[in-house]
Structure formats: structure tokens, C-alpha cells
Amino acid sequence: MRIIFMGTPEFAVASLEALLNAGCNIVGVVTAPDKPAGRGQKIHESAVKQFALSKGLEVLQPLKLKDPDFHDKLRSLKADLQVVVAFRMLPETVWDMPPKGTINLHASLLPKYRGAAPINWAVINGEKETGVTTFLLQHEIDTGNILFSKSVPISEQETAGDIHDKLMQTGATLLVDTVKAIESGDYTPVVQPEILPGETELPHAPKIFKEDCLIRWNQPVEKVYNHIRGLSPYPTAYTVFKEKTLKIYSAEIMDKEPGIQPGGFLSDDKSYLRFACLDGFICVRDIQMEGKKRMPVEEFLRGFRN
């Protein structure tokens, strides 16, 4: 089959590489336009573009996905199938173009966690497992008929970053299996249920904004802990400490009655910094004060005594 691949971040690179290693015929790659980034505002190319160019693949970077010239270029590539991994929402004129349709790899066990941040929300909500799903694109986002899925456990210590890396590899393998099944015709699409047995509503995964990252200490300690690891390493949970933003990348739970108000803290000025929640303490381990580099709490306390 002639395949067009669409994706932008590192998460998508693993899938593109796996398809190439499996001998798939990638006739074009669509990714985000280059943009300035960082303090120097240097022009930044997406991870997918950098990898695609290193493999000699043709790269398309449309500013607008509804651009007629972009559509003409897609048609000229005569793709049988389009594959989407971590890309923008496509207009119907694009996803309905190939004869075998367009498939998407989503980092959750659909229909749970439809949306932009499925990995973060699964960890934030304390899920014990998540996974990856391949499905056929249709009008409503992440609602198309399911092709294949594979579950992955979430341990109590794993962060969103840990799960991202696991799903990136698991998803790449599942995507290759899905493409092979489509090529052979050995698959049966399954309609996504609107609700799951024993559930009253489906959990969603909307885009995360800065206000979602603020830690609310007047909650159970386990909920605060899941919030921290669900946002680590990015976009990172934070609190306000000594009138400055303090990002918290990793922490541990201390099951001990706080004895102080939620949000209050205890420290020995050298080895620990503990924030009180409703029913225990969060012991921070890896942090970053506004204007400073990321560091272990011990190093932070050495320069921030009393």
C-alpha cells in the first residue's frame, strides 16, 4: 500500500520508524510548519520532519489543512491509506481521501480519554491501566470505529512521562499490526460504545492549561500525588512558595496526620520539604523554583535556608 504519514512530536517518530522498518511504503509525510522556539527564537523543525528528512522522505508542511493546493498535492501522492499519530484535527476532505481511509493511533483505551491529553489525565485520575487504540477517523474527534487496542499497566510510581515512553513503543508496534491487517483485509471495525459497563460517564482528556497545573493542597494526599505525577515532566504541577512559582516534578506520600493547615509546610532546611494535604504530607523530591534550574530538594534547600 501507498501510505501517507501525519504526525509532529517525538511520540509519532517511533511509529513512523516502525512502519519503515516493517517495509511499509511511506510516500509522504505531513507535519507542522517550522516555527521559532526557545529564548533565541531559532526556527525549530518538528521531530517528525527531522526524522523523515533523514530517511529521504518527502515532507509536506501546510499552514492550513483546508488549503486546496495541499489537497492537490495529497491526491498526487495517490495514497491508499493515511496514518495519523499526534497530529492536528483533519478536515473531512483530507481524512476521507484515501480509498482505505485514514487511521489514527490514540494513547488511551478508547472510548475512555478522548481528547488532547489522554496520558496526563489517566495518571491524574489514578487509573491502574491505560493503553493505545487504532481507529478509523470520522467526524467527531476520537470517536471512529475501533480497529485494535492494547493495554498497558500504570504503577503507583510512574509519571506521565514514563507512560508516554511505554505507549510510544507499544503504539508503534500496534500501528504496524493494524496496517498489515488493513493490507490483508483481516480486520473488523467495532463501533465505540457511548458508555462502558459499570460506568455512569466516560472520562475525557481535554487540553491542559496552566490553571489545571496549580496544586490544590486541601485535597486527599493521594489525589495531590496523582496530580503531580500526571503532569510530570510536562507541563508540570506547581505551587506558590515564598511568593514564587515552585514546580514539582516528583514527590512521595507520607501517611501522617499533618497537624497543620493544608498548604503549610515543614522543613529541616537541609534534607526535606513537606507540604500538608488533608490527610497526609507530600514530600517533594525534584523541584524547580522560578528563575532557577531543576534540582533535587536537598540542593534547593542548601541555597534557600530558613
Point out the annotated binding site for (6S)-5,6,7,8-tetrahydrofolate.
108-111
Q: 144 by DSSP, 3-state: which? A: coil
| pLDDT tens sequence across 244-297 | 999 999 999 999 998 999 999 999 989 999 999 999 999 999 999 999 999 999
Point out the annotated binding site.
108-111
Specify whether 260 is located in the same domain as 148.
no
Q: Report pLDDT for 306.
A: 55
Specify whether 171 is located in the same domain as 277.
no
| pLDDT tens sequence across 191-248 | 999 888 888 899 999 999 999 999 999 999 999 999 999 999 999 999 999 899 999 9
In a domain, 67, yes or no: yes
What's the domain range around 173? 2-184
| pLDDT tens sequence across 80-111 | 999 999 999 999 999 999 999 999 999 999 99
Question: CB-hemisphere CA count at 13 Å for 70?
Answer: 19
Number of domains present in the structure of the chain: 2
The CATH number linked to 162 is 3.40.50.12230
Question: Helices marked H in the chain — which ranges?
Answer: 10-21, 47-54, 68-76, 92-95, 118-124, 160-184, 210-213, 221-230, 297-302
Phi/psi at 85 (5° precision) = -135, 115
Q: Rounded to the nearest 10 degrees, how much is the dihedral formed by the CA atoms of 14, 37, 55, 78?
A: 90
Q: Report pLDDT for 242.
A: 85
pTM given for the model: 0.94
Specify whether 180 is located in the same domain as 215.
no
